[in-house]
Amino acid sequence: MPKYVVLSALLCATASVASADGKTADLPALDPQTNPYNIRDGKVDFETYNGYRRYGGACARCHGPSGTGSSFAPALMDSVEQLDYAEFVNVVVNGKNIESGSRNRVMPAFGTNPNVIQHINDIWGYLQARADGAIGPGRPERIR
């Protein structure tokens, strides 16, 4: 076997390899309860980055940028420390409507919205990373 073939095989075995779908191959499997996100040198995995994007697309207009909250809706980076995963999913699927005084603030139900539901674990992971202080506000850097 020519030497360069051996060398490139070795490089592939040790380097962090991005596969065709953009995910990084050598990171531990994600689990909403035990490992909601992966972070290396301040950079997040594909899923957590996706969670940041999905959060920005569907949640930020009410819950504020980067999970920080607004005058209208609570800071989800704090909420995910109080709610467990099942409770979080339940609110996002079914919505929530609390009347407080003259203000009727509605959390919409996203149960039939594929842009949210198919990515709910990624959004959860992103908010967990924010809650833990693993990443700051704004666009996180991605592990390549």
By the rule CB under 6 A, 86 interacts with ligand HEC? no
**Which residue, 61 or 139, is less far from ligand HEC as judged by CB?**
61
**Which residue, 27 or 85, is less far from ligand HEC as judged by CB?**
85
By the rule CB under 6 A, 65 interacts with ligand HEC? no
Cβ atoms within 10 Å, residue 113: 14
Q: Is 138 exposed, middle or buried (0-12, 13-18, 19+ CB in 10 A)?
A: exposed
By the rule CB under 6 A, 116 interacts with ligand HEC? yes
Outline where 84-119 has alpha helix (H): 85-94, 114-117
Structure tokens at 6: 């051996």
Among 58, 77, 129, 131, binds ligand HEC (CB under 6 A): 58
Distance CA 69, CA 53 (A): 16
How many Å is the Cα radius of gyration of the chain? 18
By the rule CB under 6 A, 72 interacts with ligand HEC? yes
Among 24, 38, 48, 79, binds ligand HEC (CB under 6 A): 79
Binding residues for ligand HEC, rule CB under 6 A, total 24
Which residue, 70, 96, 67, is CA-closest to 79?
Answer: 67
Return residues touching ligand HEC (CB under 6 A): 58-59, 61-63, 72-74, 76, 79, 82-83, 88, 91-92, 96, 98, 105-108, 110, 116, 123
